[in-house]
């Protein structure tokens, strides 16, 4: 079982398709905001 990349809770994976990275839309949005707030590399 995989874990959410944001909050580390377990995420159920379906048999087909792309693996889920987040447990919910709120974790997905939180990760997006964290990426946007990070300084640009270089």
Taking the C-alpha atoms of residue 39 and residue 18, their distance in angstroms, rounded to an integer, is 29
Please tell me the predicted confidence (pLDDT) of residue 40. 75
Taking the C-alpha atoms of residue 32 and residue 35, their distance in angstroms, rounded to an integer, is 5
Q: What pTM was estimated for this model as a whole?
A: 0.75
CA dihedral (34, 30, 28, 23) positive or negative: positive
End-to-end CA distance of the chain: 35
Residue pLDDT, tens place only, 1-34: 899 999 999 999 988 999 999 999 999 999 999 9
Domain ranges of the chain: 2-37
């Amino acid at each position: 079982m995989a874990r959410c990349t944001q909050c580390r809770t377990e995420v159920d994976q379906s048999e087909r398709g792309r693996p889920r990275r987040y447990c919910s839309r709120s974790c997905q949005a939180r990760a997006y905001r964290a990426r946007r707030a990070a300084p640009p590399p270089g």
